Amino acid sequence: MTPSLTNADGTPTSRFAFGTMQFGGRADADQSRAMFNACRKVGITHFDTAHVYTGGSSEALLGEFIAPECDRLTIATKVGYTGGAGAANIETQFDISRQRLGQDLIDLLYLHRFDPDTDLAETMECFARLKAAGKIRYVGLSNFAAWQVMKAVRVAAEFDLTIDALQPMYNLVKRQAEVEILPMCVDQGISVFAYSPLGGGLLTGKYAQDSAAGRLAEDERYANRYGAAWMAETAAELTLLGQQVDVDPATLAVAWVAASPFAPSPIVSARSVTQLIPSLAALNFRMPEDLYARLTALSQTPPPATDRLEEVE
Q: Is there a catalytic annotation at residue 53?
A: yes
Contact 48, 14 (CB under 8 A): no
Active-site residue identified among 53, 110, 138, 207: 53
Q: Which residues of 178-217 are buried (b: 16+ CB within 10 A; e: fewer)?
A: bbbbbebbeeeebbbbbbbbbbbbbbbbbbeeeeeebbbe
Asked whether the beta carbons of 235 and 209 are under 8 A apart, the reply is: no
Distance, in Å, from the CA atom of 296 to the CA atom of 178, rounded to the nearest integer, reads 12
CB 66 within 8 A of CB 39: no
Is the Cα dihedral 279, 273, 203, 21 positive or negative?
A: negative
Contact assessment for residue 191 and residue 165, using Cβ atoms and an 8 Å cutoff:
yes
**CB-CB contact of 117 with 84 (8 Å):** yes
CA 12 – CA 27 distance, rounded (Å):
29
Residues catalogued as catalytic: 53
